[in-house]
Amino acid sequence: MVSTATLEKRGYDVPFFGETQPQGGIYFTESAIRTGDGWSASLYVARYPREPQEFWMNHFMKDKDVIVTMDVGTQNSEKILELLNKGMREQKDRYREENDESAKDDASDKYHELKELSNAIRRDGEVLKMVMSRIFVQAYTQNELEKRIMEIRKRLENDEFGCTCLLMEQKEEWQSLFTDYDTQKFMPNRRVGKEVPSEAFGAGFPFNYVSLDDERGQYLGTSSSGGNILFDPYHLDNLYRNFYNTVILGQTGFGKSTLLKKIMMDIAAKGYYIRGFDKSGEFTDLIKLLGGTIIKLDGSEGRINVLEILATIIDEDTGEIDEAGCFSQHLSKTAVWYQILKPTAQDDELDEFELLVWSLYEKWGFVDEDNGVINKVTGLAPNRYPILSDLIALIESEQRKENTADRAKRLEKITLTIRKLCRVHKRIFDGHSTIPDVTSQQIVFFNIDGLSSMDKKIVDAQMFNAINLFWGALLRNGKKQKELYESGQIDFDFVLRNALIIDECHNIIKPQNPRMIEYISDIQREGRKIYLGVFMATQSLRALVPENASPEILDKLKEVFEFTQYKFYLHFDSNVLPLLKEVSGEQLTESEIARIGKYKMGDTLLSISGGENYEFHVDASKEERKLFKGGGRDDEANQKEVA
């Protein structure tokens, strides 16, 4: 035995040997290798397909938790030609002597194969590669090892490969991990490779994985060909990825919410600002883990004053809040809010309402005598703004004046609508804003579960208020980040971007609420300027594209879809696939749509507008599935399944 001192004197790194050697020792049985931490065995690939397809090496290199080695040598051309000539003579003699027609055909086929290869070597310089491929399979127990070996062998046999566990040669097989092809020829078992033409060898390239490798990407899963999907919704390439909006579509229970939450976790880890809506409370645990804030939108935890003027417009020349623009846009939005509250309102009633709101602000000193806006109308203390009761008082004073019959009727309608709102839903609408100041909070979600039992018009009006509030907060952050980046104070990679997350978005974006559709579309369109991505998820494709909607509404809904850069498609039933084909246009092929109908839980197709499509399986760890708490069963047998 050579001493440690002798080995070190010869230049060997003895401590490295100790760290990398099999821990607990190693023992070779007739068909396996046993180490201190489990069992393993070598599967020797003894047969390759006669007519291999492109990327044929993928067939035995794609199994998980295996080590695949391929040792390659080059055969001497003159020796190969001698063997080929001998083989051709044997096949010719066999053809003459055989009486069975199928045997004669087989001999003829093999003769022509050998002749073709011989001609390629002599005329085209074809070189034969000698290939030895091994698949080292590991498991904790011998039974588990034998089961895995059987599964791999069966799969490879279906692909016309033959592999075997070489009896009494496992020691030499293990040593092959550390020796080259020429050395292995002189080992006790004297293995030599199988002849593979160099052209076929090159065509077998195994690393043809479809993958997505965004620079700041998050690992989402593995593509159908084994490549990693590293996805960053905020990646820009100046080619076709130019904005950040995302939609996740799929039937309930197939991983839609899990995927959305995975993306949200990555966004939060990067310090990005997140605002969102949680309909059922299923985001609660995740939000709390990330240190976020959850506020009920039913008025029990605060009120949003619809008459509070928010900062929603930035002067592109100065980068400052455009006070006049914010005021003008706020007046228009109050009219939109009123129309959401009362969809039957005619244009003259809406115009009257907007004028009344303008008069109210004039009374409160927001507008000077020349009809201009005072210097500051945004960011004031909540009690500096009027409330709906003040608006009712103003309308009542207008009613006491001499009015035309038409105006009197309009004032009566508006008074009735607002007074009813203030009496029935005073806690939600009538009063100064009492929502906690969460402007500096990174993550804020509104829980809208408490609104579900209310009239749809009330829900829609309150959701419009909430999105307005979110838009103002995200705008301020985007403005700040834009100033820091454009002044050179931070690199583009360190810009703290914005996200608006809307799960179950069909509850907000719906034909019955065209104004909200327009508003979401505007946010999608303008969001790029402030590094904002809108992330939506829904299981109801028909709700987004209803059959009985008017052409005008359909066009608005399609705009929302078109302004989405990234579309994730999970499983849909076969009866929805024709609609999916109509909605996706030319982004999805017929074969891709057909496969979506067969997707299992966690399978998805990512379609990047103007770019590529990526089919992959979303990887969710056991811890993630427990945290996300999806509606599906937690399948312990498959660690990649998502709930």
Choose among 314, 315, 312: nearest CA to 332: 312
* pLDDT tier for residue 25 given thresholds of 50, 70 and 90: confident
What pLDDT, on the 0 to 100 scale, is given for residue 235?
Answer: 94
More confident residue, 59 or 499: 499
Query: Do the strands 228-231 and 26-28 form a parallel or antiparallel pair, or are they unpaired?
Result: unpaired
Domain positions in the chain are 4-70+130-203, 76-126, 304-434
The end-to-end CA distance of the chain, in Å, is 57
Q: How far is CA 283 from CA 15, 277, 445, 508, in A?
A: 50, 9, 9, 18
Choose among 464, 566, 571, 546: nearest CA to 217: 566
What are phi and psi for residue 276, nearest 5 degrees?
Answer: -165, 175
* pLDDT tier for residue 134 given thresholds of 50, 70 and 90: very high
**Which residues have CB under 8 Å from 511's CB, separation 6+?**
546, 549, 550, 553, 557
Report yes or no: 640 and 602 within 8 Å, Cβ to Cβ: yes
Task: Check residue 319 and give left, alpha or beta (phi > 0: left; psi -120 to 50: alpha).
Answer: left
Q: What contacts 24+ positions apart, CB below 8 Å, involve 572-578?
A: 572/249, 572/250, 572/251, 572/541, 572/596, 572/597, 573/251, 573/597, 576/251, 576/541, 576/542
pLDDT greater than 50 at residue 633: no
pLDDT greater than 90 at residue 171: yes
Cα–Cα distance for residue pair 417/415, rounded to 1 Å: 6
Measure the CA angle with vertex 529, ends 275 and 561; round to 5°: 70
What pLDDT, on the 0 to 100 scale, is given for residue 372?
Answer: 64
pLDDT digits (tens, 9 = 90+) for 388-439: 999 999 999 999 998 999 999 999 999 999 999 999 999 999 999 998 877 8
* pLDDT tier for residue 345 given thresholds of 50, 70 and 90: very high
The tokens of 177 are what?
């991990």
CA atoms within 13 A on the CB side of 88: 14
Cα–Cα distance for residue pair 321/478, rounded to 1 Å: 12
For range 358-372, the mean pLDDT:
82
Q: Which amino acid is at 320?
A: E
Greatest extent of the chain over all pairs of C-alpha atoms, in Å: 120
More confident residue, 5 or 219: 219
pLDDT digits (tens, 9 = 90+) for 492-541: 999 999 999 999 888 888 888 888 899 999 999 989 989 999 999 998 88
pLDDT greater than 50 at residue 479: yes
What pLDDT, on the 0 to 100 scale, is given for residue 630?
Answer: 57
pLDDT greater than 50 at residue 252: yes
Cα–Cα distance for residue pair 292/303, rounded to 1 Å: 19
The mean-pLDDT minimum among 189-198, 282-291, 464-473, 490-499 falls in 189-198
Instruction: Write the DSSP string, 432-477.
Output: S--S---TT-SEEEEE-GGGTTS-HHHHHHHHHHHHHHHHHHHHHH
Cα–Cα distance for residue pair 550/63, rounded to 1 Å: 51
pLDDT digits (tens, 9 = 90+) for 108-123: 888 888 888 777 777 7
The tokens of 339 are what?
């129309």
The tokens of 242 are what?
């130019």
Q: How far is CA 162 from CA 31, 40, 64, in A?
A: 17, 19, 19
Report yes or no: 242 and 248 within 8 Å, Cβ to Cβ: no
For range 23-37, the mean pLDDT:
91
Segment (H or E) for 18: helix 14-20
More confident residue, 317 or 193: 193
What is the b/e burial string over 522-551, where b = at least 16 CB atoms within 10 angstroms of the residue's CB? Answer: ebbeebbebbbbbbbbbbbbebbbbeebee
* pLDDT tier for residue 637 given thresholds of 50, 70 and 90: very low
Instruction: Write the DSSP string, 306-363.
Output: TTSPP---B-TTT-SB-HHHHHHHHHHHHHHHHHHH-TT--HHHHHHHHHHHHHHHHH
pLDDT digits (tens, 9 = 90+) for 5-21: 898 888 889 888 888 88
Cα–Cα distance for residue pair 596/95, rounded to 1 Å: 51
More confident residue, 584 or 164: 164
Cα–Cα distance for residue pair 127/75, rounded to 1 Å: 7
pLDDT greater than 70 at residue 64: yes
Report yes or no: 219 and 228 within 8 Å, Cβ to Cβ: yes
Choose among 605, 549, 527, 573: nearest CA to 247: 605
Measure the CA angle with vertex 121, ends 117 and 126; round to 5°: 95
Query: Do the strands 443-447 and 162-164 form a parallel or antiparallel pair, or are they unpaired?
Result: unpaired
What pLDDT, on the 0 to 100 scale, is given for residue 370?
Answer: 66
Cα–Cα distance for residue pair 172/139, rounded to 1 Å: 20
- Mean pLDDT over all residues of the chain? 88
What pLDDT, on the 0 to 100 scale, is given for residue 484?
Answer: 93
Residue with tokens 């006070």: 323
What are phi and psi for residue 573, nearest 5 degrees?
Answer: -65, 160
The highest-level CATH class for domain 304-434 is mainly alpha
Three-class secondary structure assignment of 225-269: CCCEEEECCCCCCCCCCCCCCEEEECCCCCCHHHHHHHHHHHHHH
**Which residues have CB under 8 Å from 301's CB, separation 6+?**
295, 435, 436
Report yes or no: 136 and 208 within 8 Å, Cβ to Cβ: no
What pLDDT, on the 0 to 100 scale, is given for residue 523?
Answer: 93
Stated length of the chain: 643
* pLDDT tier for residue 304 given thresholds of 50, 70 and 90: very high
* Sign of the C-alpha dihedral computed for residues 379, 382, 388 and 392 taken in this order: negative
The mean-pLDDT minimum among 137-141, 466-470, 502-506, 583-587 falls in 583-587
For range 612-625, the mean pLDDT:
91
The Cβ of residue 25 has, within 10 Å, a number of other Cβ atoms equal to 9
pLDDT greater than 90 at residue 583: no
CA atoms within 13 A on the CB side of 545: 17
Choose among 551, 199, 482: nearest CA to 314: 482
Cα–Cα distance for residue pair 337/606, rounded to 1 Å: 35
pLDDT greater than 70 at residue 106: yes
The mean-pLDDT minimum among 54-68, 163-177, 391-405 falls in 54-68
Q: How far is CA 555 from CA 255, 270, 479, 552, 569, in A?
A: 29, 36, 31, 5, 21
* pLDDT tier for residue 546 given thresholds of 50, 70 and 90: confident
Cα–Cα distance for residue pair 500/470, rounded to 1 Å: 8
pLDDT greater than 50 at residue 641: no
CA atoms within 13 A on the CB side of 626: 6
pTM as predicted: 0.71
Q: Which amino acid is at 231?
A: F
* Sign of the C-alpha dihedral computed for residues 608, 614, 620 and 625 taken in this order: positive
Choose among 110, 109, 113, 108: nearest CA to 95: 108
